[in-house]
Amino acid sequence: MFARGAGSPSCRGACVHGCVHRGAAALPAAGCPGPSGGPAAACGMSRLLGGTLERVCKAVLLLCLLHFLVAVILYFDVYAQHLAFFSRFSARGPARALHPAASSSTNFSRPNATAPSSGLPEAPSARPGPTAPVLPPCPDSPPGLVGRLLIEFTSPMPLERVQRENPGVLLGGRYTPPDCTPAQTVAVIIPFRHREHHLRYWLHYLHPILRRQRLRYGVYVINQHGEDTFNRAKLLNVGFLEALKEDATYDCFIFSDVDLVPMDDRNLYRCGDQPRHFAIAMDKFGFRLPYAGYFGGVSGLSKAQFLRINGFPNEYWGWGGEDDDIFNRISLTGMKISRPDIRIGRYRMIKHDRDKHNEPNPQRSVKHRASRELVKKQFT
């Protein structure tokens, strides 16, 4: 409002010739008497009033500018809200055209109430639900393995302790690693009868081992009812079929006696290109393989390998003979047995008396020869 270097209007009204700018020494110009005269007091008063008026005018100007800025901000805010409001209407238009029934008088406050279908495909949701994260493959050599383990069977082993120590294992003995995707789905099959004490130790040791090996697995205890002569191989066949009924994705099958516990968790319960024999060095055999064709205790076959040998033999009632028969089936079909290092494939057996109705089969040698000839005819 005021030009810089000019005097204030009030001062010019009192002194005809004006006063020098306040930024200078405020000397009186011509026509402004000195401090001894009466008109000088009137000129000073005029200068004081002029300065006050100038400050008031500046304050009013600042308030006007502030009001203008606030008005501009509010204007753009209201304009943006109007744009968002009309854009919602334009986005809803096509959905209403596709689904006219959605605007009918359906009462959605009732439980399970749904709008009548128009028979047309629904428009995709603007906010899709969260997708499950893609987990990386589990490593071939799991990083959390311990190695050689201390195995003992003297401490009491209630099932409550087993459940408490394995919170991630689901009902039915199922487990899936939470941080990676395993390459195989493994079914562990145990032939069983009257071995509850052994089973508790097996579960106590094997669940932590299998979890550290990053396996997706399920445990199947196949119980033979009654007191007839025990048939281990037939129970293994039943376990193979029952596991696939529950989960058709099983592609690896581990067949384990309930009284054998591995002494090293680097003995990975997986299937490979060839059938796998895990229990190659038991304590009852002095930690040595008893003979070259031994395939008992704990073994593993893929689904394709199991079907290739036509499963296990059903004719062996009582103890012994079925594991040698399985070895012959594998050999005669052109496959070879793979085994871990003897320092890793060590097992402890829970000491026990021979089960009643599981006496050695006196005809196992005869059945073994007959089965060998039959397998030769089938696979050669």
Q: What confidence score (pLDDT) does residue 379 get?
A: 62
Q: Please tell me the predicted confidence (pLDDT) of residue 63.
A: 85
Is residue 130 in a domain?
A: no
SS3 for 276?
strand
In a domain, 276, yes or no: yes
Is 1 among the domain residues? no
Give the chain's largest Cα–Cα span.
Answer: 150
Q: Is residue 251 part of a domain?
A: yes
Containing structural domain, residue 315: 159-352+365-378
| Position 67 in a domain | no
pTM for this model (two decimals): 0.63
Number of domains in the chain: 1
In a domain, 20, yes or no: no
Q: What is the pLDDT along the chain (380 residues), one digit of tens a residue?
A: 334 344 443 433 333 333 333 333 333 444 444 444 455 555 566 777 777 888 888 888 888 888 788 777 766 655 555 445 444 444 444 333 333 333 333 333 333 333 343 344 444 445 556 677 899 999 999 999 999 999 999 999 999 999 999 999 998 899 999 999 999 999 999 999 999 999 999 999 999 999 999 999 999 999 999 989 999 999 999 999 999 999 999 999 999 999 999 999 999 999 999 999 999 999 999 999 999 999 999 999 999 999 999 999 998 988 778 999 999 999 999 999 999 999 999 999 998 666 665 555 655 555 556 566 666 666 66
Could you count the other beta carbons within 10 Å of the beta carbon of residue 60? 11
Residue 220 inside a domain? The answer is yes
Give the CATH number, domain containing residue 188.
Answer: 3.90.550.10
**Which residue, chain included where needed, has tokens 């639900």?**
129
Q: Is residue 104 part of a domain?
A: no
pLDDT value at position 17? 36
pLDDT of residue 44: 65
203, 352 Cβ separation under 8 angstroms:
no
Residues labelled as active-site residues: 257, 259, 319, 322-323, 349, 352, 354
Radius of gyration from C-alpha coordinates of the chain? 46
Long-range contacts of 206-209, Cβ-Cβ distance < 8 Å, separation of 24 or more: 206/261, 206/262, 207/162, 207/165, 207/166, 207/169, 207/173, 207/175, 208/165, 208/166, 209/149, 209/262, 209/265, 209/269
- The span from the CA of 228 to the CA of 232, in Å, is 12
Contact status, residue 293 vs residue 324, Cβ threshold 8 Å: yes
